[in-house]
A and B are shown apart, each in its own frame.
Chain A
């Protein structure tokens, strides 16, 4: 009795979870495997369209003979590079139609025209014409004829499904295309974006944890950059930083802080001298990182604030009795209490910043030294139209991420052991 109950429970569970599991599997897990497959292939954007046999039907009446009609099919292979094999053709006609000249490739039975066109090479074109006559002498309705669409079918090789593999993509990714530079840019972007957003998150959480007038309002305002659409924010920033008539440059010029406008998003390096040391700062990259921090510190803020509000008040009261200063309280009570949250946040933000595409794409498009790995996936796959290369880059991203997670958990595990 109990056994059958457990069995029905199991069955119900599978029925309930199956739709979700299937969808997630086909849209998320399957593509990841497909990505590995594609990355070992030489595929370009134009190769992935399946070649189709196509026919355009043109109906022409023949002058002086209203019972006759000429139908012209403009046949073609949609692909410029691949052949289609065993093309078959089918079209239906009204019940009083009789064919006049039957092509040897075709048959006409039960008002149904069937043809076998054989193989079509790439770019194949043919004008195929048939003439019909009504057997009862009635006039022909041209409109009606046009609405019936011919059906075509054919076989073709799908370049994605053959078993030709190559290592060329990975060789290209790893040994050409300034891979080291790409990696460094991605690392700077990810690391400083993550650290910056966490630092700002700590500051703002500490701030909102104080009591002041308008605190709840402040909390919503702080989350605005995180919830607003990235497209709108990126273009607003672009206008704000525009070198010609952007607000920031105009303000700085107005107050005579700078003499010539700075192109914050379009200049790769800027030379800065501090205490006599000259060094070059990656200007556009820094600006993009600033945007990243501005947009994502609210998340860190939310996490850390939730943690701060859970710290027992007695800890602070005891510290007050001991005469601890505000800074001592912050470093000795608050900070140790939020380290766990910070380490989770660091991992989450690191992974997501590493994969961030939209922000950089919208702000600079990857120009002036802001090309990160995700941008490279897009550029390889869609700008250069080399799908195989794009796939290879995204596989490199996954491998790097897995390595990061492995070391991160190892490090974290060690620290937990020490405690």
Chain B
């Protein structure tokens, strides 16, 4: 049992080490180092030796010395004997090894004898592996987007693997793509249009949704249950089904290529979820507050503005942020309704830009950064509000 567990432990930890070093090698390659092989076999042997040695030595040497010794040996072989590599790369490898040995230091021969210990090890390493894997897979495209926007066309074609940014140049050279898209491609205007459309959608949606949600949450009227169930069913209805009839109707009414047209469609598509989210929150507000207000002869308008709205600021802000994000990111309707570059939203403008095969990719990526940054900023800053909005309104795809 112990031998089997020992072998499994060494194998799992070795694979984890290979994964760590490989990611570091990929990142280093992207900084312009010429690394042409992962040397998996060598790292595999090293990993096995380190984990077995760690088990064998146990507590006889202080773990900090152990980490430093093993890491130094590994760095010496990997970054000096096999291929001479710069210091910063070797420092990285050293830190990875140090981290790795610290991670495995809680496993001992005695611990391996315990029941389910292989499963515990597997679970532990899978979690670690998952954290690194998903961080890498998710962040890498964003990293690439950002870096590409700072490169020049020639640099990208000469070595597509060189992601290093030359900070030595002046601001104008570094941000050249951004200057170009704002100057030659009128991105300032598109930002303005996108902002007007998104903020407008938020305001109109809230104006319509707050009274409706209040009625659904509090008042008794014929058709109430029908209304509240149909809200979600309507919300599930696919946008692609609406596109052709809305296109024909808007063409005939002259609403295509207009901000008003977009505002109407965005508001209508976000209203159901806004009502749904708000009425849930309104129901949680104690009724007694309103009863007092009714005695004070406040009208429904007074009740909503003086009692309901001040009490549900968190819910309203989460709806507002969620609607803003939907409107800002929306692409399908802006593709269908806008074909005049004077009325493009940011998303549509980037798509239009990419339609021209001549457009250098760094401009495209600079545009992508411009459209992505506000959303990510809002998301990170208001995450608490937004996550509750996402979970409630996440039927939207």
Contact = CB atoms under 8 A, between A and B. Distances in A.
A387 interface: yes
B212 A17 contact: yes
B394 A228 contact: no
B249 A21 contact: no
Given A20-B211, A27-B265, 11 more contacts: A35-B244, A48-B248, A49-B251, A210-B127, A218-B134, A221-B135, A227-B325, A246-B160, A378-B240, A381-B244, A387-B247
Contacts of B208: 19-20, 23
Contacts of A299: 390, 394
Contacts of A228: 142, 329, 372, 375-376
B64 to A, nearest CB: 19
Contacts of A28: 234, 237, 242, 268-269
Interface of B: 26, 29-30, 35-38, 115-116, 119-120, 122-123, 126-127, 130-131, 134-135, 137-142, 144-145, 148, 156-157, 160-161, 208-209, 211-212, 214-216, 219-222, 224, 227, 234, 236-249, 251-252, 264-265, 267-269, 271-272, 275, 300, 325, 328-329, 331-332, 335-336, 346-347, 350-351, 354, 361, 364-365, 367-369, 371-372, 375-376, 379-380, 383, 386-387, 390-391, 394-397
Nearest to A300: B394
Contact of A24 (B135, B272, B361, B379): B272
Nearest to A353: B397
A220 B245 contact: no
A357 interface: yes
12 contacts: A9-B220, A12-B219, A13-B224, A20-B209, A222-B138, A226-B390, A228-B372, A299-B394, A326-B120, A348-B395, A377-B243, A387-B248
A398 interface: yes
Nearest to B161: A250
A38 interface: yes
Contact of A227 (B144, B222, B364, B379): B379
Nearest to B370: A232
Contacts of A387: 244, 247-248
Given A228-B372, A325-B116, A23 B267 contact: yes
Contact of B244 (A29, A223, A250, A391): A391
A107 B215 CA distance: 58
B246 A355 contact: no
A49 B375 CA distance: 37
A10 B222 contact: yes
Nearest to A216: B383
A254 B161 CA distance: 9
Interface string A51-75: 0000000000000000000000000
A217 to B, nearest CB: 9
A355 B329 contact: no
Taking residues whose C-beta sits less than 8 angstroms from the other chain, chain A's interface range is 35 or more
Given A19-B208, A245-B156, A250-B160, A24 B215 contact: no
Contacts of B325: 227
Contacts of A277: none
A228 B240 CA distance: 21
A240 B249 contact: no
Interface in A373-416: 374, 377-378, 381-382, 387, 390-391, 394-395, 397-398, 401
Nearest to B123: A326
A225 to B, nearest CB: 6
Contacts of A218: 131, 134-135
A207 B127 contact: yes
A203 to B, nearest CB: 6
Nearest to A227: B379
A128 to B, nearest CB: 25
Contact of B138 (A225, A255, A358, A382): A225
Contacts of A338: none
Contacts of B122: 326
A19 B376 contact: no
A93 interface: no
B130 A245 contact: no
Given A21-B212, A254-B29, A326 B119 contact: yes
A336 interface: no
A94 B252 CA distance: 34
Nearest to A401: B238
Given A16-B212, A255-B38, A302 B29 contact: no
Contacts of A223: 379, 387, 390
A303 B391 CA distance: 7
B212 A19 contact: yes
Contact of A221 (B115, B139, B243, B387): B139
A216 B321 CA distance: 20
A10, A13, A348, A378: most-surrounded residue (chain B CB, <10 A): A13
A355 B249 contact: no
A357 B145 CA distance: 23
Contacts of A113: none
Contacts of A26: 268
Contact of B365 (A30, A50, A239): A239
Contact of A23 (B141, B227, B264, B395): B264
Interface in A240-281: 240, 245-247, 250-251, 254-256
Contacts of B141: 233, 236-237, 240
A326 B271 contact: no
A221 B140 CA distance: 11
Contacts of B252: 48-50, 158, 160
Contact of B350 (A204, A210, A231, A251): A231
A17 B376 contact: no
Contacts of B134: 204, 207, 218, 221-222
A386 to B, nearest CB: 10
Nearest to A215: B131
A228 B264 CA distance: 23
Contacts of A377: 240, 243-244
B397 A232 contact: no
A235 B251 CA distance: 30
